[in-house]
Amino acid sequence: MMAGEHELIAQLLRPTPPASTRLPRRLPLAWLGLLLPLALLMLAEVAVRLAWVAPNLLPAPSDVLVTLQELAQQGLPGHVAASSLRVATGFALGSSLALLLGSVVGLSRVAEALLNPSFQALRAIPSLAWVPLLLLWLGIDEAPKIVLIAIGAFFPVYMGVASGFRDVDRKLVEVARLRGLSRVALARRVLLPAALPAVLTGLRTGLSLAWMFMVAAELIAASQGLGYLLTDGRETSRADIVLAAILLLALLGKLSDSLMATLETRALHWRDSFGGASS
């Protein structure tokens, strides 16, 4: 026993090799970000269990998980699917329109002079201001929700595409001109790849805005979806449902953003940049 103890102390006293000094520093740093949320969750759990706060206002994290499990059996997949479908449709609609109009504006000075001021003016309108109008025009069905999401996704993508095309290095364009490329070929083979970083950034921002506007749209009028769950939770005073929906929104948003980030890294592997396209 004693010998073993001495050995242990000797081991502890022995200077650590330089290679290992870096590892324990890096590991805590990466996990440091989890410290605060975990501590808060623990605090919330303890606070509820010790009855410091009313559980109907702040449900214990464990209760939220239980609620999630219950919801999963009561049509939660349907809610998630409905919301995801809306985001996908709205984003597809808004971003493809933005890609089209953005490239027209980015490619042609005439189109830019003609269209850009109007788009900039429209962009200045807080997008939620469209809601009453959309409800008036399109009723309370799917259409106004999809359109609102599309509006949300449109502008970041439009800005990314238009500025991306406009900022393409003149020097590269000259090389293509020397080869006698047509305008269409120039756009496809030089301008589009050169503008891709800005376009992808726009698409990524557009996607996260699409999630945001989906919630806004569903909060107003919906019978299914995560936004509906939020409203439902509030109306039935079920904070646990609200929190469960928020948690799901965070997860879905992060998931889709990670997918976009992966796509971005793949598509831009040729970029000679510092640190790559991570996060």
Partner 1 sequence: MLNVHIHRKRFAGRAEPVLGELRLSLAAGEMLTLVGASGCGKSTLLRIVAGLDTEFEGQVLLDGRPQQGLSRDIGYVFQEPRLFPWLTVAENVGFDVGQGYDAARVSALLAEVGLTGYERSLPKQLSGGQAQRVAIARALYTRPRLLLLDEPFSAVDAFTRIKLQDLIIELARAHGSSLLLVTHDVEEAVLLSDRVLVLEALPGRIARELVVDGAPRPRLRSAPRLAALRTEVLNALHAVHAL
Through-space distance between the first and last CA atoms of the chain, rounded to whole angstroms: 51
> Site mask, partner 1, residues 185-224, x = CB under 8 A?
x---xx--xx-x----------------------------
Asked whether position 109 contacts partner 1 by CB under 8 A, the answer is no
Of the two residues 68 and 267, which places its CB atom closer to partner 1 in the complex? 267
Of the two residues 168 and 212, which places its CB atom closer to partner 1 in the complex? 168
Query: What distance in Å separates the CA atoms of residue 133 and residue 129, rounded to the nearest whole number?
Result: 8
Asked whether position 270 contacts partner 1 by CB under 8 A, the answer is yes
Binding partner 1 (rule: CB under 8 A), the pick from 176, 247, 252, 261 is 176
What DSSP letter does each residue of 41-57 carry, written as one string?
HHHHHHHHHTTSS-TTT
Query: What distance in Å separates the CA atoms of residue 24 and residue 34, rounded to the nearest whole number?
Result: 16
Shortest distance (Å) from residue 207 CB to partner 1: 23
Beta strands in the chain (DSSP E): none
Token readout for 244 is 């469960």
Binding partner 1 (rule: CB under 8 A), the pick from 6, 234, 254, 271 is 271
Binding partner 1 (rule: CB under 8 A), the pick from 6, 109, 177, 234 is 177
Shortest distance (Å) from residue 270 CB to partner 1: 4
Token readout for 254 is 């992060």
Shortest distance (Å) from residue 198 CB to partner 1: 14
Token readout for 89 is 């449709």
List the alpha helices (DSSP H) in 53-129. 61-73, 76-107, 109-124
> Site mask, partner 1, residues 10-29, x = CB under 8 A?
--------------------
Shortest distance (Å) from residue 195 CB to partner 1: 11
Query: What distance in Å separates the CA atoms of residue 64 and residue 244, rounded to the nearest whole number?
Result: 6
Query: What distance in Å separates the CA atoms of residue 48 and residue 45, rounded to the nearest whole number?
Result: 5
Q: What are the residues binding partner 1 (CB under 8 A)?
A: 171-172, 174-182, 185, 189-190, 193-194, 196, 270-272
